[in-house]
Every structure is written in C-alpha cells, then in structure tokens.
Structure 1
Amino acid sequence: MPNRLAHETSPYLLQHADNPVDWWPWSPEAFEEARERGVPVLLSVGYSSCHWCHVLAHESFEDEVTAAFMNEHFVNIKVDREERPDVDAVYMEAVQAATGQGGWPMSVFMTPDGEPFYFGTYFPPEPRHGMPSFRQVLEGVRGAWADRREEVTEVAEKITRDLAARELDHGAGGLPGEEELAQARLGITREYDPASGWLGGGDTKFPPGMVIEFLLRHHARTGSEAALEMAEGMCETMARSSLYDQLGGGFHRYVLRPRPGATLVPHFEKMLYDNALLCRVYAHLWRVTGSELARRVALETADFMVRELRTNEGGYASALDADSDDGTGRHVEGAFYVWTPAQLTEVLGEQDGLAAARHFGVTAEGTFEEGASVLQLPVEGGELSADAQSRLLAARELRERPGRDDKLVAAWNGLAIAAICEVGALFDRPDLVERATEAADVLVRVHMDAHARLARTSKDGQVGANRGVLEDYADVAEGFLALAGVTGEGVWLEFAGFLLDIVLDQFVGEGGVLYDTAHDAERLIRRPQDPTDNATPSGWTAAASALLSYAAHTGSSAHREAAESALGVVRALGPRAPRFIGWGLAAAEALLDGPREIAVVGAPTDPRTGALHRTALLSAAPGAVVAVGVPGGEEFPLLVDRPLVGGGPAAYVCRRFVCAAPVTTPESLADTLS
C-alpha cells in the first residue's frame, strides 16, 4: 500500500512511495506527530539520480524488518534536496561541522523541534569498513533517546546554538579590485595541473565551469595569457575525457580514479545544471579563440539538452540517472554508456570496430568494470567517420535508457535558457533560440504567480508546493536577461526586473548581505546563507551578477548598489578560496569592466542591424549587456536617445549610460569593444 509520498510531485519522493517505511514529506504535521508520540525524527535527504540513495533504499528502506523498526521508533521524513535546498543546506551544514564531510543520502536524527543530534550519509545493511550498519545506527539512536533523553536534547540544543552563532565574513570592507582578482587567478594557477588539465588535487574531478568563466573574463579584461591557457586546458581535458559523452554529447556529473594508475571513469548521472553551465562556457571559449573543439562541444551539449532533457511542456528536466538495465535484468551504473570491443565490432564490422576502439580508447581489458570501457577521445587516436559515430549512437539508443527526473527546477532552467539562447545566436541556430524562449514561457506561465513570486519546481505542468529560493530568482533573471539580449524582446528584461525587485525586497538583509530564503519563508533552525559556489553558482553571487546586468540595462542605482554590496564577499573570499567563488569572481570582472552596455539601433529587417547585433553578441567584454531595436524603443532604456546615424543602423558602446561615439560597421564596433 503506498505511503504518504504517493501524493507528492517529486520523482525522488515518488520513488519511495511504495516503501514499507511510513514516510512523511517535510511538513509541520510530521514534527507534530513526533511530539505526540514522543519519538525522534529521522530525516533522509537525497535526489532521484543519486546512485547511493538508490542503494540505501534497496538495502534498507525496502526491507520489511528495517522499515517496521523505523516506523515504530521514529517519525521518518523524506526530502528531495532539489525541491528543498534550504532544508538540505541547513542540515548539511550540521553534518559537515560534526563529521568533516557530507554527501547524499544524508541521514539526520533530530528532536521533534528539528534540532539535530546524530548524523551520517550512507549506512550499509551490514557492518563493513569500520562503518556501522543502518540497523545498528537505528538501534543506537533509539537506545540513546530512550535511556539518555536529557543528554541527547542537550547535544541537540548545543549544535543548534553553534550553528546559529556562526558568523559569515561578507566582505563589508569594500569591493573587489585588481589585487583581489589577480590573487584569485594566482590561486587557481597553484591548483591547476597543466600536465593533466584538471583543477584541484585528489582522484575525484568535478567540472569547474564557474572558474573557467572567470578565467575567460579575466583574460578578456586584462589580456592574461595564463588565464586563457588554463581555461583552454581545462576545457580540452574535459571534452576529451570520459566526463563528456563522446557519442551523444553532454557531460556526466564527475569523474574519479577508482585505483592508482587507472583510467578516470565518470559517475554517469547527467545533471541539467552542469550541462547548462558548461555549454555556455564552451560557447564563450569559442568566442575568444575560435576553437573548433569548443564549437562542437557547445553545440552538441545544447542539442543533448534539447533532445534528452526537454519535457512536453517545453522546459528542461533535472537529470538523467547513472544506472540503467544492462540487458540481463541487472540495474547497473553506466550500462547505457560503456562499450566492449566486441560490441563496437558488432555494430561497425571488424575494420571500423577496431578504428572506433582506437578512437575512443576501448581496450580488451576494459577501463571500467567487467571488461567494458568508458569512451574517451585521446589526443592521439584513430579517426572515426561521422557515419560510424551515427551508427554507434543509433545502436546505443536501442539500449534501456537511464531514468529521467522530469521535474523542472526554476534555477536550472534559467541557466539552460541563458546557455541555449546564446549558443543559438552565436552559431546561427534559430531553432535553439526558439527552444530557449519556450522554456522561458514555461517559467512565466507555470512557475511565476501574479505577484512574480516563483515556485521552485513543477512537473507535468503542475506547480510544486515549495517556494523559490534566491538562486531561483537570480538564475531565472539571468536567463531572461540573456534572452532579452539575443532576441531583442524587451518583455524578458521586464520579467527579469520583476524577479530582481523581489530579491531586493525579500532576500537582502542588513548591510547588503543576502539570504538563500525569503524574509517570509518557513523558519528553520538557521536561515541558510552561503555565498560559495557548489555544483551551481551560489544564490548570493548569481544575484549579484543578475543585479549588475539589470542595472547596466536600466541605469537603476538601487540594483547596482545591491550588486556592489553583495560582491564585497568576493573581496573577502576570492584570494583565499577562488575555486569556490568562481561566479562571484566572474561578476567582479564585469563590475571592473563597467560592464559594457551595447545599444544597437536600426530596423530589425535591415541586415546591417543584424550584423551589428551579432558583433555585439560576439564580444567577450566581461558581462556586457546588449539591447537591440528601433531608436527610442521603450522596452530597452539603452535605446532611448540613441538615434540612427546617417539614416542607418548604429551601435553605441556605453558605461553607466555614458557612451562613446556611435559606430556603424561591425569592424569598428569590434575595435571599440576590444
């Protein structure tokens, strides 16, 4: 019989709707139930494409005996971290403070007042490698609650007090300047390995898209060749490695080295946010260098998102699972993506199969598991025809596909809109611009209410119950601003303004600090607030970037002042931890450059207008904003008082609405912007 999760919209929660565990969704009623029964709460947090979340569910949550024990001694709450990033952030902070590490699935035991006292991530069904079993953990917590209740509640109260007392250095000392950005670039240089092309030590490598965006902007503004070399090196390494899907395009979540000397292999889930961020970065790299590799990866990644993540409503699904059926009934990680030499030969024949094996680094021994290999693109390798690649992709499509998390997350769709519309504009793909516009329409129709308040998620056109957090407002505004610049449709600038006005009203605190949740949001044991990037830009720095762009479009001093206040954190953190505040560093580069405001005036049907517009979009000037339309067009303030020149189209390059002399040719505009 289904439990309470059967009525939820989250695919992750629905995956647990048939568990024998009597799960509750996060709700006041769940905590009231714990108070009435006098039992602790077990909070389990995960997400649909999390491999170890599935493992824990299969081993423990589907076990009748374990579930019966959980139901008797706990109120059990299941949370999708992608729906409730605020809940995840608050308790993950506690987990990391207590254990020194975190991850998912996250298991937190807490009082009926939500105060945590014991933590962990994945627990196996039997003790192993020094880890207790999940059942041992449950029995230990139950015993402590029954026999040492006062001690447990004292621990919970102390943890909650310690969390509340944490101070954030938000950089009240001023704006980041040349010195801080140069120190940040040097810090990245120290962590970059030019031999491997990866950033950071250790055997697990995540794609550093936000850091690369900073490096590209730093190069554009300062001419730093070191910054460009690192950006190029990281992008080439990722594109040639198994992080990138060499057949179908798009990026996996991360790669790791399972043992010394082994090939890096991916964790095969594909997330919308990774692909949106990296798609845009490769397009921006092409804009600077003209790299054919960057062009190919940007286009393939955009096409991947449209082909495999686009939903019936026109938005973009959150993720593809890592696991799928391997053809024998087993659910195996990577089964959809890996190959053996025999499989290549079966599809292509012996000669082309051998060429494909050389091309993709497929070996007889295998580079992954059970003799299979992940696909890579070594610098030195056999050539593969487009026909052979198409045949392999067609053969792969016959395999059992990984599951898809069909919920739309507002923030991630905002990132995707920005990437897809820019790739469409840069590479003359109007179909991609149309796909981005359709996704923006979905966010307005489904996620935005009459007061421009955003819902965090939706599924199948049904809006979720959870409110948007700061990253939703910031990233959706970012997408709308990019779409406005590409399409010349001022309505997207207007919608971005609605969202950013809510940021000013609901998310800004004393001294210009930003919070991840709105002033009127549900109160947790701590109000989440984190300016550092994780897998996505932090809401804090994403808001600073969008506020700065909107101010450049409109001349609004309120939005610019809020952006400057927010970017004080980059002065504090950029030199010390540049890998973890890349989006803020990128925004700081835009601030130091102006950012440039480019107004293109002319008839939309005049090819000279189009040529100037394209030149403006090709500019690598950090954070430059573009407005295009007829002179005096009311939708874009940048077009007001910007007349034609000699009766023909013209472009004005401005900073804070102070403009240089207009230019009339693409060449002169490019010179002005350089």
Structure 2
Amino acid sequence: MPHTNRLIHSTSPYLLQHAHNPVDWFEWGPEALQKAKAEGKPILVSIGYSSCHWCHVMERESFEHDDIAAVMNASYVCIKVDREERPDIDSLYMEAVQALGVNGGWPLNVFLTPEQKPFFGGTYFSPASWVQVLQNIHKAFEGNRQQIEDTAEELRLHLLRSDVQRFKQTPSDSALQADLSDIFTKLQAHFDKQWGGMDRAPKFIMPSVWLFLLRHHYLTKDHASLEQVVLTLQRTASGGIYDQIGGGFARYSVDAYWFAPHFEKMLYDNAQLLSLYAEAYAITKSEIFKRVVYETFDWLQLEMTHPLGGFYSALDADSEGEEGQFYVWKKTELEKLLGENEPLISEYYNVKPGGNWEFGNNILTRHKADDVFLQAHGLSDDEWKTLQDSAKHTLHEARSKRVRPGLDDKVITAWNAMTVCGLVDAYRFFADQTFLDAAIRNMLFMEREVQQGNVLYRSWKGKHSVTTGFLDDYAYVIQAQLRLYQATFDERWIEKAAVLIDYVMDQFYDDTDGFFYYSSTSAEPLLSRKKEIFDNVIPSSNAIMAQNLFQAGTLLEREEWKSLAVAMAGSLAHLIKSEPNYMSQWAIAHTEIKKGMAEVALVGKDLHAVRQQWMQQYAPYALLQGTEHQSKLPLLHDKIASGDGPTLFVCYNKTCQLPVHRVEDAIAQLQ
C-alpha cells in the first residue's frame, strides 16, 4: 500500500505527482504556515511544474526515498508549490534565491524562517548533496539562529524593493524614429545571422522580440529586421524544436541550432507562436508559415483541448522515464514503417543510420529548402506533398501507440486567453472560421468555469482553483476580448473588457507609482507584493495592461486610460531602448502609443466581406470597429454609410479622413 500525503486532495497535476511521496508535503496555506510558527520549524518550499524534467529527477532520487523523507519530515515543514498555479510565490522566492547569487531554475528549493522569510535556496540537488544541505541547515538553524534571522531580514528588505522604484524615470522627449533606431541597434548586435534567433544557447524563441521586429519593419521599411524574423521562423520551423510529425513547438532548444529541444510543450509558447507565424505570413505569404499555424492548431485540437473547450497547460518532456522518447526515431524503425519511401523521407528529415542525436536516436529536422530538395530528386510540389503527407500520417499513427508523455490537464486562465489571441490572429490572416470558432468556444468556457462576476480564478481542473487570478490572467483576458471585438464587431466583448479594466484598476493599481501589482488587494498577503515589469517567456503583465489601456481608451474615448498607458510606457522608455531583449512587449506598446493608433470604422450593410478583406492586411497600428445599424462606441455614433455598400472611415485623434468604399483606399490613407 503506497504512502499517501495531503497532496492527494490537490487539483494540481504537479502536486498530485507527489501525493504518494513519503515526504509529509503540505500545500501552501494556513495549515502549513501556522504549523511552522507553532513548532518553531523552518519551512522548506519546493517549487516546480508538471512537465519539468529535473523536478521529476529530484523526486525519483530524493523525495520518493523513505530515509531522505525522514530527514525532511523531522526538521522541516515541507510545502510543495505548483509554480503555474502560484506564480506569485514562485517569483517572490526565485528573486530571493537569485539575490543569494544562485542561478534560478526548477525545481526551486527554498528554506524559510517560520515567518516565511527566505534565507537559503537552490535548484536541483543530488541525493547526497540534498541530505547534506538538510542536515547543515538544521544544524545552523538550531545553533546560529540569529545569523539566519539576519540573512532573512536582509532578503526581506531586498524583496520589498520595487523594480518600478528602481527603474522608473521621467519620460524623455525623443522622436519615434530615434527610439526605433536605438531599440533595433541593441537587438541587432545579438542576432544569430546563420541560425536565427539570438546568439546564445540554450535558445528560447521569445515571440515578442520578433513581433516587435515585424512592427519595426512596418514603420521603417528596414529589410534587415524582416530578414532576421524570416530567418528565425524558417529555422525554428525546420528544427527539432518544432514537432515535424505532430505540430507544435517545444519550450526551447538546448543548442544554438534549434536542433535538440527540451521536449516539453507549453501552451503559452504555442499560443504566442500562432500570432507570430500568422503575422509573418501576412507580410511574406510564406506557405511554410501558414503550414506551421495549421499544424500547431491541429496539435492543440488533438492533444491539448478539453471536451468543454478549455486548453490544457503542458505536455511533459519525458515518457518511459526518458526525455524525448516519444518523439525520436531509429532509422530501422522508419525502414519498417515507410518501406521504399524511407530513404527519401530519411534524407529530407536528416535521419542517420547511427542516429543524429544520442543513443542511436534521430530527431527529425529539415536542413534543405524544399525547392532545392525537390529539384535534386526530380519531384513536383504535388508529388512531394502526397508522399510527405502519407509518411507523416504513417509516423503519427505509429507514434500514437507509444507511451505518451504526461499531460498537465489543468486549464490556466492567462494561457488560455493568450491562445484565444493567437487563434483570433490566425482567423484574421487566414479568414478561416475554424480558428474563430475555437477562440469563442474557449472564451465562453472561461466565462462559465473560471469567472464569477468580475473575479477570475487562476486555473481549472474539474472545478476552478481557490486561487484567484493574477494580473496576467486579467490582462490577457482583456486583450483577448479586445481582439474578439475587432474580429466580430460583437460589442459585448468590448463591454466585458471595459468592466474588467475597471476591476483591475480597483484591485491591482498602485497610484503611488502608476503601475499594477501582480496580485490583487484581496489576495493572500505574502512577504512582499510584487509588480511584474520585465518580459520573460511570457510577456510582462504590466506591458499587456498598458497596451490594453491605450487600445480600449482609444476605442471607448477613455482619456484617463490612455494617459495612464502613456505614463507607464514613457517612464520605462530608457529601459526599453537599453534592454529591449527583456522589454520587447514594452517596445510594442511604446511604439503603439508614440505613433498613435488609427481607428478604422466600417459602417453599412454586409460588413463581413469587407472586414475579412481588411483583417488580412498587415496593419498593426490600426484598431478596427464597425456596425451595420447602431453602436454604443463613440466613433460610430454619427457614422453613416454612403451608397449601397459598406463605407470605411480612417480616423486619427477623433478626426476622420474622407470616407472610402474600398479597402485599398483605406490602407492608402493609413500610410
């Protein structure tokens, strides 16, 4: 009979993975925190997530062993945290560990005083090292308590310092073109001009960097920015970071070539990459980019969608105890499955007899351009597509019979809203109703399952979590509602966005510095209430809110929202220009605010076809609105169609140019 601890009652798949450890785990909450105070014991907080490879390794090596668990249980109150459900706890203690000079990562193991003050921490420990750490800290806590308290107090004071206080400056008066030049020069210095992305390893795709560069190209007509985006997207679509058989992207590449991924697939990466590849298609009309969007969507539908419409969080890197086992191939296996077509398919996907990776395995990648490959083999596009589709179908069927990677089937509000944005962008540029239907279905799911009144909850797994939403949950839901309005002209979406913005202003806004806290005023108080400023693999929630305020303020003529967005972005402009790698979402918001967003109004009957034609244009600095009859939106109040068909008005700062009837004429007015 296996041991069972308190985590058995959790809704988090990650915590449930630890429910049969002999460690006496608690979830974060009053029971554990009060026990630590009552018994005068230090707290051990171990933070991870379900698809984290080294989290699994440390569990197998340490947390599943009775002798190591006995040491933990005797001296500590042990708390397990799912960083995806409690990003507030994760970011707080990650900052503390980094302040101690330790590189961050997961699993994150942090030791706290009974008052929740951190004093020591690290990431993965081998079993022998872990036992040594446990014993040494227990000894120090018993014998040198004052020294530990002094360290903990220093860290507490460090955590109370706000990034906004450290980095906010008086806005400068620089011209938009000068800002664009500064930002691009900083980014360009780190381009990998052979393999795409930035010149580092491991490589994360960081979609917001490339979305900014698409806008840079639009504003400056500088082809160097577009060329680097195209190179990056071609390389990532050809590499092992992209699942060549099943679609969807892994979290990152461990090398500089996008070849060997860390095989976990995260919803938030793929949500952003839907937008990025769709936008890049709008400019380039690249069939490769279109194929990536459709294949990624197929993967989402097949493997990541709950029957009720929510999107799951992640697929694990491991299966059968080995990283990537589900995705790699032996050449002999391909020979059996593909028969006479195997040599051609193996050449195309860079398959080697002894493997191109470890243990004789092959990661499927593409190193030759399709036209070069087809010319070398005398194949037409149609012949190759038929052959390739058949091979991919065969391999997908064979792979589906393998032991599957673990699925984190909780639904995270922010990540689902990000996916809605990606789906709406795909709908805009491909005019395929399937994308919009999936987006609306997901939004209706969230309204039913993770929203009560104006309150969002962080996650859902059969029921919503007890943890209420964080700023990113609200920011991305508002962003999704604004995009859905523009794609449908259904004014319910913009009305819902306005209600949530007012709620965020009430619950998250700090009027002392003009930015938003990550947690609401009604959330559980932690050691420090933080504000998220810098972009990571997920863009900064404050940057998304600045965009939301400016766009919604423009559409609804809420000048106080626009003014707040201007002040937020302006006070960080120096940082946007000096550190654009970590401020790329801010760079997008900053350029929208400095350039100003045109409002394009469509009025009259039968708007659908004209809206579809407009949306397929790449016009990142225009907000679309429209009505066939009446509207509550300020700009549409007095707009009347002339003639029988729809009429388009292009407006800046409440001043409209002459009405036109063709999309091409409206696009010309934008220029």
TM (norm. structure 1) is: 0.93
- Cα deviation 1:579-620 (Å, max 9, x = unaligned): 1111111112222332122221222xx3xx233212321232
- Cα deviation 1:175-204 (Å, max 9, x = unaligned): 775223321111110010112212132x20
1:2/1:17 contact within 8 Å kept: yes
2:240/2:258 contact within 8 Å kept: no
- Cα deviation 1:433-456 (Å, max 9, x = unaligned): 111101101111121112x12111
Which residue identity is paired with 1:192? F
For the residues of structure 2 that align with 1:175 and 1:503, how far apart are their CA atoms? Answer: 29
Residue in 2 that maps onto 1:289: 284
- Cα deviation 1:137-173 (Å, max 9, x = unaligned): 1111111111111111111111111222454312442
1:199/1:208 contact within 8 Å kept: no
Residue in 1 that maps onto 2:185: 186
1:623 positional shift: 4.4
- Cα deviation 1:212-248 (Å, max 9, x = unaligned): 1101111112222222112111111111111111111
For the residues of structure 2 that align with 1:175 and 1:276, how far apart are their CA atoms? Answer: 35
Which residue identity is paired with 1:493? I
| 2:138 corresponds to 1:148 | no
Q: Equivalent residues in 2 for 1:294-309 (5 A)?
A: 294-309=289-304
Q: Equivalent residues in 2 for 1:541-620 (5 A)?
A: 541-603=543-605, 606=606, 609-620=607-618
Residue in 2 that maps onto 1:501: 502
For the residues of structure 1 that align with 2:173 and 2:345, how far apart are their CA atoms? Answer: 52
SS of 1:374 mapped into structure 2 = coil
1:639 positional shift: 2.5
For the residues of structure 2 that align with 1:441 and 1:500, how far apart are their CA atoms? Answer: 19
Q: Equivalent residues in 2 for 1:622-661 (5 A)?
A: 622-634=620-632, 636-661=633-658
What 5-or-longer segments of structure 2 have no aligned partner? 375-383
For the residues of structure 1 that align with 2:16 and 2:533, how far apart are their CA atoms? Answer: 32
Task: Go from structure 1 to structure 2 and tell me whether the alpha carbon gap of 1:141 and 1:159 turns closer, same or farther (over 3 Å shift).
Answer: same
Match of 2:313 among 302, 306, 318: 318
2:316/2:407 contact within 8 Å kept: yes
Task: Go from structure 1 to structure 2 and tell me whether the alpha carbon gap of 1:623 and 1:317 turns closer, same or farther (over 3 Å shift).
Answer: farther
Q: Equivalent residues in 2 for 1:361-510 (5 A)?
A: 361-380=350-369, 381=373, 385-450=388-453, 452-460=454-462, 462-509=463-510, 510=512
1:499 positional shift: 1.5
- Cα deviation 1:317-372 (Å, max 9, x = unaligned): 111111113xxxxx2111111112111111110x3111111111111222222100
**Structure 1 vs Structure 2 CA RMSD:** 1.7
Which residue identity is paired with 2:266? M
Which residue identity is paired with 1:161? L
1:622 positional shift: 2.4
Q: Please identify runs of 4+ aligned residues in structure 1 that moved more than 6 A.
A: none
- Cα deviation 1:101-132 (Å, max 9, x = unaligned): 10000000010111011110000113xxxxxx
1:473 positional shift: 0.7
Q: Equivalent residues in 2 for 1:235-254 (5 A)?
A: 235-254=233-252
For the residues of structure 2 that align with 1:175 and 1:572, how far apart are their CA atoms? Answer: 11
Residue in 1 that maps onto 2:227: 229
SS of 1:283 mapped into structure 2 = helix
Deviates more, 1:184-193 or 1:425-434: 425-434
Which residue identity is paired with 1:285? A
Residue in 1 that maps onto 2:668: 671
1:544/1:566 contact within 8 Å kept: yes
For the residues of structure 1 that align with 2:628 and 2:169, how far apart are their CA atoms? Answer: 42
For the residues of structure 2 that align with 1:576 and 1:315, how far apart are their CA atoms? Answer: 39
2:22/2:63 contact within 8 Å kept: yes
SS of 1:44 mapped into structure 2 = strand
Match of 2:332 among 338, 342, 345: 342
Deviates more, 1:365-374 or 1:654-663: 654-663
1:174 positional shift: 4.8
For the residues of structure 2 that align with 1:662 and 1:613, how far apart are their CA atoms? Answer: 16
For the residues of structure 1 that align with 2:190 and 2:292, how far apart are their CA atoms? Answer: 25
Residue in 1 that maps onto 2:381: none
Residue in 2 that maps onto 1:99: 101
Match of 2:208 among 186, 207, 210: 210
SS of 2:121 mapped into structure 1 = strand
For the residues of structure 2 that align with 1:658 and 1:508, how far apart are their CA atoms? Answer: 32
For the residues of structure 1 that align with 2:595 and 2:333, how far apart are their CA atoms? Answer: 53
Residue in 1 that maps onto 2:378: none
| 2:154 corresponds to 1:158 | yes
1:100 positional shift: 4.2
2:279/2:425 contact within 8 Å kept: no
1:514/1:566 contact within 8 Å kept: no
1:176/1:588 contact within 8 Å kept: no
Task: Go from structure 1 to structure 2 and tell me whether the alpha carbon gap of 1:175 and 1:448 turns closer, same or farther (over 3 Å shift).
Answer: farther
Task: Go from structure 1 to structure 2 and tell me whether the alpha carbon gap of 1:180 and 1:670 turns closer, same or farther (over 3 Å shift).
Answer: closer
2:310/2:445 contact within 8 Å kept: yes
Residue in 1 that maps onto 2:84: 82
Task: Go from structure 1 to structure 2 and tell me whether the alpha carbon gap of 1:324 and 1:567 turns closer, same or farther (over 3 Å shift).
Answer: same
1:477/1:546 contact within 8 Å kept: yes
For the residues of structure 2 that align with 1:142 and 1:31, how far apart are their CA atoms? Answer: 18
1:667 positional shift: 2.2
2:417/2:477 contact within 8 Å kept: yes
Match of 2:349 among 347, 357, 360: 360
For the residues of structure 1 that align with 2:63 and 2:626, how far apart are their CA atoms? Answer: 56
For the residues of structure 2 that align with 1:379 and 1:115, how far apart are their CA atoms? Answer: 54
Deviates more, 1:582-591 or 1:625-634: 625-634
For the residues of structure 2 that align with 1:334 and 1:7, how far apart are their CA atoms? Answer: 30
SS of 1:533 mapped into structure 2 = coil
For the residues of structure 1 that align with 2:469 and 2:87, how far apart are their CA atoms? Answer: 10
Task: Go from structure 1 to structure 2 and tell me whether the alpha carbon gap of 1:244 and 1:176 turns closer, same or farther (over 3 Å shift).
Answer: farther
Residue in 1 that maps onto 2:51: 49
For the residues of structure 1 that align with 2:179 and 2:526, how far apart are their CA atoms? Answer: 35
For the residues of structure 2 that align with 1:96 and 1:519, how far apart are their CA atoms? Answer: 26
TM (norm. structure 2) is: 0.94
1:56 positional shift: 0.7
For the residues of structure 2 that align with 1:240 and 1:227, how far apart are their CA atoms? Answer: 20
Percent identity for Structure 1 against Structure 2: 37
| 2:322 corresponds to 1:332 | yes
Residue in 1 that maps onto 2:166: 168
Task: Go from structure 1 to structure 2 and tell me whether the alpha carbon gap of 1:262 and 1:234 turns closer, same or farther (over 3 Å shift).
Answer: closer
1:516 positional shift: 1.2
1:601/1:628 contact within 8 Å kept: yes
Deviates more, 1:209-218 or 1:659-668: 659-668
1:570/1:581 contact within 8 Å kept: no
Which residue identity is paired with 2:663? P
1:455/1:466 contact within 8 Å kept: yes
Which residue identity is paired with 2:332? A
1:504/1:562 contact within 8 Å kept: no
Match of 1:28 among 11, 27, 30: 30
For the residues of structure 1 that align with 2:246 and 2:626, how far apart are their CA atoms? Answer: 35
